[in-house]
Amino acid sequence: MFTLDTTIDTIQAGKKQFVQTFVRNDAIAKALNGFIDAQSEYTKKATKVAMDTATLVAQETTKLAQESAKFDYSKFGEGFAKVMTGKF
């Protein structure tokens, strides 16, 4: 299954590299890296929930489509015609 964790890690590593290169104050760098780690954790969880939700919706939609394909439209048409003509 496709996962976005690698992409998220790559982007967050770029952010950490930026902090390491341009932020000279250790306290600020530590705070920024903590923020980047929190972003990474949140984003991974959010994408997992989104992927799980999309998978479930796709599965249920497929089930519904398969069940509707089993519907006997000819019997429905006969019943509908009986109702419309008044011949129950």
Q: What is the mean pLDDT of the chain?
A: 90
Predicted confidence band at 68 (pLDDT cuts at 50, 70, 90)?
Answer: confident
Q: Where are the domains of the chain?
A: 43-88
**Which pLDDT score, from 0 to 100, does residue 88 have?**
57
37 falls in which pLDDT band (50, 70, 90)? very high
DSSP conformational letter for 4: S
* 3-state SS, residue 25: coil
Instruction: Please give the model's pTM, rounded to 2 decimal places.
Output: 0.70
Residue type, 29: A
